Structure 1
Amino acid sequence: MNSTRMKIIIQDEWTSMNIEELFRNIWEFPKKVMHELRMDKAVSVNGQVINWNTPLKHKDEIIINLRESHDVDTPSPHPLEILYEDDYLLAVNKPAGMATHPNENEKNSLVNAVAYYLQSTEQIHKARHIHRLDKNTTGVVLFAKNALSKVVLDKMLNDRKIKRTYWALADGIIKRRKGDITAPIGRDRHHPTRRRVSKTGQQAITHYNVLETFLKENLSLIECSLDTGRTHQIRVHLSYIGHPLSGDKLYGGSAHFQRQALHARKLEFTHPFTLDNIQVIAPFLDNPPIFEQFL
């Protein structure tokens, strides 16, 4: 097992709380994790191992020594655009044609590229993605740098405290400028990878806002946000309302582009350990360009 040190400075809002309250109520660490940290005496404050019920002061320094697995993803060198990085997390810009995480036959995923970046910068961390993008969708993907960061960020994502905004070019002129698509999504029995709107599927809600329409090209530039994160959600929902993503052959889109015109444009959240307001915007990566010509 490797050991990773995680340093957290007590913010003014947490003054007078104790370690127990911070771990349980603010960051909602699992009971098993808290038990292991307590048994390992893995938590110190200003260099001292203290009682977990001792009130904390503003700017106290908490150090958590984490037991980390040796199991690190295979590093694979690949150009990587880092959009945001600190001691706890990493946001990167995923290009088209790259899977978010590796499968049995493929080791050139974004996870492998991030593993290479971390190794090359002498950071002993396992790359842990918080969410995924389809292989041919571009944009920002968030990674945690240790197991505790992942627990907290996973919970934030699940509680919709991490806002993800997508830009898309949809076929046709969408008449309604703003709308919500509420339709459950399930597997398509007739296709191994396709999804479809299905009464027996999982609840899925997509909000969209038409930014601009282009009559000549018969395209609508839209901004989407999700209340749920179902596989292919935006692609399925836009196809369902008769405006599939341009370039999305799987869901009936036109052949306007060589990939589905979907880009994870922005990520916004309050940093769980610094309380900073984080906003990450992902530049467009396509060559030849897809979105730039319509801005």
Structure 2
Amino acid sequence: MKSFTTYKVPQEHAGLVLETYLKQILQYSGRKIQKLTRQKGILLNGKPVFLQKKVKLGDTLRVLNSEDTAYGVQPEEGAIEILYEDPYMLVINKPSHQLVHPTGQTRKGTLANYLAYDLQQRNIVATVRPVHRLDRETSGCIIFAKDSRSQFILEQQLKERTLKRIYWALVKGIVSPAVGTIDAPIGAHSTLPNRRAIHPQGEQAITHYRTIHNYVDTSLLELTLDTGRTHQIRIHLAHLGYPIIGDGMYGIRSSYMKRQALHASAITFLRLKDQQEITIEAPLPKDFADGIEFCKANQSL
């Protein structure tokens, strides 16, 4: 069955020649457009169309997706929790202590391996494409695209901040001020290759936070990102003086959290088929919920 990506022409692009819209706005190459034309893979309002036709506000453009022939990783049986799925993407609830994708010496047991197996069992051949990353110990929402065009569009949403990631974190201390923004560049660590650090010549990194609740010596925060640097939230909170509970690399080890208390609680994006904004939430895992209950009991580290 052929798969298409659907676009709705917005006001600011009305009047463009279709070929220009495909090249400049949707970033299709000339060679790709030629191939799609031969395949009758460009439909405007449900019909094949000449590339020199001008598009109008509200026009529906459907473009044929290239068919994948491999998963990109070795399919491996394992449990995954799909929070949302449509023809273009999935949102999965990643458990803590699991890599998103094979890396280094780790080739199996990752979320990507398990997703490939799940797709294989449903006779869906789609290269596994994570749109963003979560650290091994971080739990919660992560998006996978089912085809290259969907990946491109979602990555554009990420750059334009219409794709928004919301995190919860338990941190040491009572955060003051209760609401704020951390704007501190992040670069390579001077001596430790696996770490990052605040560095004046680093890449811009911006994190927004607000306090959900204060406990005796701990705060529960909600965080959103303008940028997505490696270990950004962990580094920024440690830099602010409120390290994440259980984060042995940048934070503070804990008797009641055996991993960093960081959870990707929700993700908001524009649904590809109609640009409707939707939000998907991932429930708190048991260890994080137990950590909050520990704090509520007015116990300290």
Coarse TM-score class (shorter-chain normalised): 0.7 to 0.9
The one-letter code sitting in structure 1 at the alignment partner of 2:241 is: G
Letter in 1 for 2:4: M
* Match of residue 285 from structure 1: 285
CA distance, structure 2, for counterparts of residue 280 and residue 63 of structure 1: 26
The offset of 1:24, in angstroms, is 4.1
Give the Cα–Cα distance (whole angstroms) in 2 for the partners of residues 268 and 194 of structure 1.
29
SS at match of 2:149: helix
Q: Residue 152 of structure 2 aligns with which residue?
A: 151
1:8 maps to what in 2? 6
Q: Is there any run of 5+ residues in structure 1 with no aligned partner, and where?
A: none
Aligned to 1:72: 72
Question: Residues of 2 paired with 1:67 and 1:122: CA distance?
Answer: 13
Instruction: Give the drift of 1:263.
Output: 0.3
Cα displacement string for residues 108-147 of structure 1 (whole angstroms, at most 9, x for unaligned residues): 1111111111111221111100000000000100111001
What is the aligned partner in structure 2 of residue 261 from structure 1?
Answer: 261
Tell me the percent identity.
34
8 Å Cα contact 2:165/2:264 also seen in 1: yes
Distance 1:222 1:117, change over 3 A: same
1:13-162 correspondence to structure 2 within 5 Å:
19-20=18-19, 22-24=21-23, 27-30=26-29, 33-38=32-37, 40-45=39-44, 48-54=47-53, 62=62, 64-70=64-70, 72-103=72-103, 104-162=105-163
Partner residue, 1:223: 222
Alpha-carbon distance in 2 for matches of 1:67, 1:246: 44
Distance in 1 separating the partners of 2:286 and 2:180: 28
What is the CA distance between 1:39 and its match in structure 2? 5.5
- Confirm or deny: 8 A CA contact 1:29 1:148 kept in the other structure: no
Q: What is the correspondence of 1:162-177 to structure 2 with a 5 Å cutoff?
A: 162-177=163-178
Q: Which amino acid aligns with 1:137?
A: T
Q: Secondary structure at the match of 2:222?
A: strand
1:174-218 deviations in Å (ceiling 9; x for gaps): 121111111111121222311111112111111110111001xx1
Q: Determine if contact 1:19/1:53 at 8 Å carries over to the other structure.
A: yes
TM-superposed deviation, 1:16: 7.7
Partner of 1:181: 182
SS of equivalent residue, structure 1 residue 250: coil
Aligned-partner residue type, residue 8 of structure 1:
T
Matched to 1:186, the amino acid is G
Match of 2:246 in 1: 247
- Tell me how far apart the structure 2 counterparts of residues 264 and 288 of structure 1 sit (CA, whole Å): 12
Structure 2 CA distance for partners of 1:180 and 1:123, relative to 1, 3 Å? same
Higher deviation after alignment, 25-34 or 272-281 = 25-34
Contact 1:238 1:244 in 2 (8 A): yes
Query: What is the root-mean-square deviation of aligned Cα atoms in Å?
Result: 2.8
Native 8 Å contact 1:165 1:225 kept in 2: yes
* Offset of residue 242 of structure 1: 1.0
**Number of residue pairs aligned between Structure 1 and Structure 2:** 291
Between the aligned partners of 1:60 and 1:196, the Cα distance in structure 2 is 46
User: Contact 2:187–2:197 at 8 Å: present in 1 too?
Assistant: yes
Q: Does structure 1 conserve the Cα–Cα contact (< 8 Å) formed by 2:71 and 2:116?
A: no
> Contact (CA 8 Å) 1:43, 1:65: kept in 2 or not?
no
Q: State how far apart, in whole Å, the 1-side matches of 2:183 and 2:150 are.
A: 31
Deviations 1:246-277 (A, max 9, x none): 00011131314100000001111222331222
Tell me the TM-score normalised to structure 1 length.
0.87
Query: Could you tell me how far apart the structure 1 residues matched to 2:166 and 2:288 are?
Result: 23
Check whether the contact 1:71–1:126 (CA below 8 A) recurs between aligned residues.
yes
How far apart are the structure 1 equivalents of 2:290 and 2:22?
A: 45
User: Quick one: distance in 2 between partners of 1:155 and 1:9?
Assistant: 14
Give secondary structure in 2 for the equivalent of 1:23.
Answer: helix
Moved more, 34-43 or 160-169: 34-43
Distance 1:47 1:172, change over 3 A: closer
TM-score by length of 2: 0.85
